[in-house]
Amino acid sequence: VIAAMLVVFFLKNLFRYLALYFMAPVRNGIIYDLRKQIFEKYIDLPLSFYSTEKKGDLMNRMTSDVQEIEWSILNTIEAIFKAPLIIVGSLTFMILVSPQLTLFVLVLIVFTAFIIGGISKTLKRSSFEVQTRLGRISSILEETLGGLRIIKGFNAQKYQSEKLEKDNADYRNILTRLLWRRDLSSPLSEFLGIVVVSMLLWYGSALVFDKVLTPDLFFAFIFAFFQVIEPAKSFSSAYYNIQKGLAAVDRVDNLLNTPNPIVDLENPLTDISFEREIKFEKVSFQYDNADTAALDQIDITINKGEVVALVGSSGAGKSTFVDLLPRFFDVSSGSIRIDGNDIRSYTLYDLRSLFGIVSQEAILFNDTIKNNILFGAEATDEQIEEAARIANVSEFVNVMPDKYQSNIGDRGMKLSGGQRQRLTIARAVLRNPPIMILDEATSALDSESELLVQDALEKLMKNRTTVVIAHRLSTIRNADKIVVLDKGKIVEIGSHEQLMALNGEYNKFVEMQTFD
């Protein structure tokens, strides 16, 4: 008997381990795929999506929401993986022993299930609110860490703390109520289980006294019933956990099903080149929920090799103009053509391979100087160093202990403003695109840095088609074509001399030296 018991327990634990062993890669594979899908969705979605979303909440979808799915659903599935076999086997035996008593027990179990379901039905909604509040907290934290210099400089620590306080308090209160409901599952299930057992003993004893059931079969029935209780309790806990995890599933599912309006055609053009011109034909664009158009009926031709400077006050449409070229947004009406072909007829990858972009804000990554210049491209060390030399990066890199392997910190914070700008120019130089989109930085630099940045920009623009949002008069004067925008319309176009002779809007900008 002892040997038999040892064999049974050994086999039980062996198969339990094997079940967990085979479930682990399945569970982790699901989480891996889910995180991968979310990340790829973030990269794929257009810029317009991010204008209405908070970064902290988006980060939570990939971290806490996925973790909630793992713990609330996948762990639960793993825990009850073997329960159905036990329940089916035990119920089969119970029906064979006494169908009447089995029906009585099943009615009691269904009744208790309705009670548990009624209490736990609000778990999904509460969990959704918890995840939403956590997303807001993450957003405030992300903003705070990114703006510490301003927060401290303006003595705004209390203001930021108060912003966090409301969402943090709401998170605490909602989570407390959620945990109260969740933690009620175990004692409630145990109490209802005792009630069911008591009713079973009462009704079963009556059947024994009435000689409908023999005592030995009744004891066998009770033994089989107790084999069902533990798996049934695991199903009860699973229901609570799954309700909690479904809120995270909904949040992730809503994200993954967000439509992307900027996609490739089914049969795009495959041979892309830029030999002649870029042409805007009656292009209009209006942002979602905006009252007026950002660009209105724009007609302009940019010939290959031209430097076109965009000038206008803030909100005139300059950034929108350049964002339409690589299809960060799609035109509301009209078309943009490269050598006669609508840019929407090319794949996004092929289209964007024509452009190099230097933004006003130096966007760098917590990596080495070399990897920030490469940024996914393939190049030899000699090509990297040549790009750095052209962009006047080598003069500060060569004095660093680790040279091009030096880490520049989060967003390049280990570098000065001018050094960061030159590094982004080196990245564009290495790519060597036929068309350059340039938004000149407006941040104040010391005279030496200003000259180095300006020199790097001039080298970058040389013999290249360039569309530049210009803030420096020297850049504007040297442009082949100056486009003056006002409220989304082109009000003047021509060279510096031609526009000065008109004595119009451009002349006012020159006199005031304001090219915002």
Q: Convert 93-115 into a string of H (helix), E (strand) and C (coil).
A: HHHHHCHHHHHHHHHHHHHHHHH
Distance (Å, whole) CA 488 – CA 79: 60
**What's the CATH code of the domain at 168?**
1.20.1560.10
Report if residue 261 sits inside a domain: no
Same domain, 231 and 292: no
Report if residue 8 sits inside a domain: no
Same domain, 421 and 473: yes
Span 136-147, average pLDDT: 71
**What's the CATH code of the domain at 485?**
3.40.50.300
> What is the pLDDT at residue 283?
92
Domain limit, last residue, from 256, 287, 322: 256
Tell whether the model's pLDDT for residue 430 goes beyond 90: no
Residue range of the domain that includes 386: 277-512
CA triple 101-104-110, angle to 5 deg: 140
Same domain, 227 and 299: no
Same domain, 153 and 284: no
Same domain, 467 and 386: yes
Of residues 200, 196, 192, the one with CA closest to residue 119: 192
Domain limit, last residue, from 256, 289, 305: 256
Of residues 41, 433, 488, 101, the one with CA closest to residue 272: 433
- State which of 80-84, 206-210, 221-225, 250-254 shows the largest mean pLDDT: 250-254
Span 87-98, average pLDDT: 73
Number of domains in the chain: 2
pTM above 0.95, yes or no: no
Query: For residue 355, what are the β-bridge partners?
Result: 435
Q: Residue 71 has what DSSP assignment?
A: I
> What is the pLDDT at residue 447?
56
Report if residue 179 sits inside a domain: yes
Same domain, 361 and 320: yes
Same domain, 378 and 417: yes
Report if residue 10 sits inside a domain: no
Which residues, other chains included, contact 246 with Cβ-Cβ below 8 Å and sequence gap of 6+? 73, 124, 127
Q: What is the mean pLDDT of the chain?
A: 79
Same domain, 252 and 286: no
Report if residue 493 sits inside a domain: yes
Q: Which residue has the higher pLDDT, 429 or 212?
A: 429
Report if residue 269 sits inside a domain: no
Report if residue 491 sits inside a domain: yes
Q: How confident is the model at residue 5 (pLDDT cuts 50, 70, 90)?
A: low
Q: Residue 43 has what DSSP assignment?
A: H
Same domain, 381 and 232: no
Tell whether the model's pLDDT for residue 1 goes beyond 50: no
Same domain, 112 and 232: yes
Tell whether the model's pLDDT for residue 154 goes beyond 60: no
Domain limit, last residue, from 256, 286, 318: 256
Q: How confident is the model at residue 71 (pLDDT cuts 50, 70, 90)?
A: confident
Same domain, 224 and 287: no
Report if residue 180 sits inside a domain: yes
Distance (Å, whole) CA 295 – CA 40: 31
Same domain, 208 and 283: no
> What is the pLDDT at residue 191?
75
Q: How confident is the model at residue 121 (pLDDT cuts 50, 70, 90)?
A: low
